């Protein structure tokens, strides 16, 4: 059975720059919100993407599936909820959803498959030990 780690929620305020001319969040911005939440989760786990990049190692998105449920609007307060599912030493799934904070309405859901990649060797490799430790100790 795979192990799951719950990340801290990320709060997002919807600014006018996030929306189209009708005040509805532009669909591509949900991907940005998901990315911010994944980056925040790694930071909370004390994994520095900057240090990894300097070593030629990067987190890469392999696949994304997203379901749009309701539109978010200008001045909404949103919350991005994320869980990491351990699949293998080189593959994780982030199960994410964005909800409207005031009503708990689900705005969208996504599943993001993430791999760890060595740019110097041009191939996938195992995740950093401090990330694997989260799953091996739970």
In whole angstroms, give the CA distance from residue 135 to residue 138: 5
Beta strands in 44-125 (DSSP E): 57-68, 77-88, 91-100, 106-118, 123-124
Which residue from 62, 69, 78 is spatially nearest to 112, judged by alpha carbons? 62
Q: pLDDT value at position 40?
A: 96
In whole angstroms, give the CA distance from residue 1 to residue 5: 13
Residue 20 falls in the annotated catalytic set: yes
Residues 6 or more apart whose CB falls under 8 angstroms from that of 31 comprise: 64, 66, 110
**Which is the catalytic residue, given 18, 20, 76, 118?**
20
> What are the structural domains, with CATH classification, of the chain?
4-136 (3.10.129.10)
pLDDT tens, position by position, for the chain (138 residues)? 468 899 999 999 999 999 999 999 999 999 999 999 999 999 998 888 898 899 899 999 999 999 999 999 999 999 999 999 988 888 899 999 999 998 989 999 999 999 999 999 999 999 888 788 877 765
């Amino acid at each position: 059975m795979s192990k799951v780690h719950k990340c801290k929620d990320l709060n997002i305020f919807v600014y006018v720059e996030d929306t189209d001319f009708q005040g509805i969040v532009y669909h591509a911005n949900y991907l940005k919100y998901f990315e911010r939440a994944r980056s925040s989760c790694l930071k909370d786990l004390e994994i520095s993407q900057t240090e990894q990049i300097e070593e030629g190692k990067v987190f890469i998105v392999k696949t994304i599936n997203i379901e749009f449920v309701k539109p978010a609007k200008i001045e909404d307060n949103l919350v991005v909820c994320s869980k990491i599912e351990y699949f293998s030493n080189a593959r994780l799934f982030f199960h994410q959803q964005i909800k409207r904070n005031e009503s708990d309405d689900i705005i969208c859901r996504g599943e993001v498959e993430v791999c760890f990649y060595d740019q110097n060797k041009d191939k996938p490799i195992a995740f950093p030990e401090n990330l694997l430790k989260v799953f091996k100790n739970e």
